[in-house]
Amino acid sequence: MKEEYALLGTYDQTDRGNVEVIALSDDYDELVKIEKAIESVNEKLSGRDRENPSEEVEKIIEENLGSVDIEDGDTGYIYEIHTTRIVRLKDVEVNPKITKECGYCGRVLFKGTEKEARHQIIYCQVCKGEKQPEKT
């Protein structure tokens, strides 16, 4: 069975701001090729108008980056993408387990996933957020 890999990175000049999945593949070498094509596009557009790319850049995009969201469909603007790394998806925990503890008394208040904890108000019912006196 083949492993599935993800190329991670960030988009500059957008409001995205988060590390995102740039491309997915069962072939690690294909993602390396995509990463190099992105670097090549960034290099060729450095300091140039990203809304009017050269034919050379368009060719790189057409041949190597068809699966990548690198071009704005409405304006033709070419995003600058900074790749972070390639990860094997089985190594990425989708819903990591978390533990929330009281900051005052240290009691465990919640164990579960971040998704389960979302929108919950978690507080200690024992000490009610008041600093407890030191025991002597």
Q: Which residue has the higher pLDDT, 128 or 91?
A: 128
Tokens for 127? 């000490």
pLDDT of residue 1: 45
CA-based nearest residue to 98, from 122, 81, 72, 129:
122
What three-state secondary structure class fits 7? strand
Quick check: pTM over 0.75?
Answer: no
Q: Which DSSP string do the residues of 24-85 spell out, in sequence order?
A: EES-HHHHHHHHHHHHHHHHHHTTS-TTS--HHHHHHHHHH-TTS--B-TTT-PBPPEEEEE
Query: What's the Rg (C-alpha) of the chain?
Result: 23
Q: Is the pLDDT of residue 93 over 70?
A: no
Burial class (CB within 10 angstroms; exposed 0-12, middle 13-18, buried 19+) of 77: middle
Q: Is the pLDDT of residue 50 over 60?
A: yes
What three-state secondary structure class fits 91? helix
pLDDT of residue 75: 80
The predicted-structure confidence for 5-49, as pLDDT tens digits, reads as follows 999 988 876 566 678 888 889 889 999 999 999 999 888 888 888
Q: Which residue has the higher pLDDT, 3 or 106?
A: 106
